[in-house]
């Protein structure tokens, strides 16, 4: 997927979030449902986060090697962390509000109207989340958007299940429990959703700190290097790698000796071509630094 398509997907996310922001807030006020109001407010935040991701994605596309000689890959995880922090704040606010509502005796809700909104929201959120999920491996921005829409889909599902339960309980001996259903749903949703931003912060924080790439990618790289070591009688190889955004940075130091089959610049260039070609199955954009030495101190 090219980056123009990434921008289109982010624009779709922002447009849908705008619709939900307007509909959710109005519907939440009319039905007196904190859960729907929470959904609408979350959509507003999703809208701003989507716009930030869209702007950042377009900015990353613009080449500026003078100011960013090593690229702009760090912008992606930085923006995703900001998104995750904002979502965390929203979840904490929702949990606090629901606890206060529970302590004050719950909240009466127009159940039929609330259920109708929940069904509408569930269908639309599920469709958008599927679009995001199928494309999330192409960009950290889309991956973050996919996580947000997954949260919204689960939130909508909770609304539907909760209000269906409330409708069935209305004319039973448990009718006293109905006012508590809305704040309980908000409480459970807020607590559960906190796990998503925490996961995003952990993963993207690793990238900002340039920590090592994932084990699967490391193994792919090591397998290729092992094959080339045997072909060229390379004594030893030291590899350092880290993934930042869509870019995989790999630093190779090949330790040679008198038996190695690399003896001139032409051999070095041929080796580099083979290394690059064999790493084609690694999907990220690769930034490789390939070094050769006969002294181990320069490889450590």
> With 0-12 CB in 10 A as exposed, 13-18 as middle and 19+ as buried, what is 65?
exposed
Of 93-97, 216-220, 231-235, the range with the highest mean pLDDT is 231-235
Tokens of 185: 């749903």
The answer, yes or no, to whether residue 290 has pLDDT greater than 90, is yes
Mean pLDDT, to the nearest integer, of 272-280? 92
* Rounded distance between C-alpha atoms, residue 1 and residue 208, angstroms: 24
Planar angle of CA 14, 246, 140, nearest 5 degrees = 30
The model's confidence at residue 19, banded by pLDDT at 50, 70 and 90, is: confident
Mean pLDDT, to the nearest integer, of 244-258? 89
Mean pLDDT, to the nearest integer, of 100-120? 82
Residue 282 phi/psi, 5° resolution?
-85, 115
Mean pLDDT, to the nearest integer, of 223-237? 93
Task: Check residue 1 and give its pLDDT.
Answer: 45
Per cent of the chain over pLDDT 70 is: 97
The pLDDT tens digits of the residues spanning 35-69 come to: 778 777 777 877 777 778 778 777 877 777 778 87
Parallel, antiparallel or unpaired: strands 236-244 and 247-255: antiparallel
| Class of domain 3-208 (CATH, top level) | mainly alpha
Nearest partner of 261 among 299, 238, 232, judged by Cα: 232
The model's confidence at residue 3, banded by pLDDT at 50, 70 and 90, is: low
> CB of 255 within 8 A of CB of 296?
yes
Mean pLDDT, to the nearest integer, of 185-209? 83
Task: Check residue 188 and give its pLDDT.
Answer: 82
Q: Where are the domains of the chain?
A: 3-208, 215-298
The pLDDT tens digits of the residues spanning 167-181 come to: 888 888 888 888 888
CATH among 3.30.70.1350, 1.10.10.10, 3.40.50.10190, 2.102.10.10 for 215-298: 3.30.70.1350
Of 22-26, 57-61, 207-211, 292-296, the range with the highest mean pLDDT is 292-296
């Amino acid at each position: 997927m090219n980056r123009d398509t990434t921008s289109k997907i982010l624009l779709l996310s922002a447009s849908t979030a705008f619709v939900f922001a307007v509909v959710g807030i109005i519907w939440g006020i009319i039905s007196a449902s904190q859960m729907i109001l929470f959904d609408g407010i979350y959509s507003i935040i999703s809208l701003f986060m989507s716009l930030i991701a869209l702007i950042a994605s377009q900015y990353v596309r613009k080449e500026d090697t003078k100011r960013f000689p090593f690229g702009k890959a760090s912008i992606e995880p930085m923006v995703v962390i900001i998104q995750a922090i904002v979502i965390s704040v929203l979840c904490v606010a929702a949990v606090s509000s629901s606890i206060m509502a529970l302590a004050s005796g719950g909240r009466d809700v127009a159940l039929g109207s609330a259920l109708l909104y929940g069904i509408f929201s569930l269908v639309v959120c599920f469709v958008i989340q599927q679009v995001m999920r199928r494309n999330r491996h192409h960009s950290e921005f889309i991956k973050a958007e996919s996580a947000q829409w997954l949260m919204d889909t689960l939130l909508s599902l909770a609304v539907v299940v909760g209000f269906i339960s409330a409708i069935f309980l209305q004319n039973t001996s448990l009718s006293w429990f109905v006012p508590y259903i809305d704040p309980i749903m908000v409480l459970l949703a807020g607590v559960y959703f906190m796990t998503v931003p925490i996961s995003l912060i952990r993963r993207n924080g690793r990238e900002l700190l340039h920590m090592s790439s994932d084990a699967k990618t490391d193994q792919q790289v090591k397998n290729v290097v092992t094959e080339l070591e045997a072909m060229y009688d390379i004594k030893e190889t030291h590899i350092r790698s880290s993934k930042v955004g869509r870019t995989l940075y790999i630093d190779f130091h090949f330790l040679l000796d008198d038996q190695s089959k690399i003896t001139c610049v032409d051999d070095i260039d041929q080796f580099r071509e083979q290394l690059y070609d064999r790493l084609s199955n690694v999907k990220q954009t690769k930034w490789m630094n390939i070094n050769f030495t006969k002294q181990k101190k320069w490889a450590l």
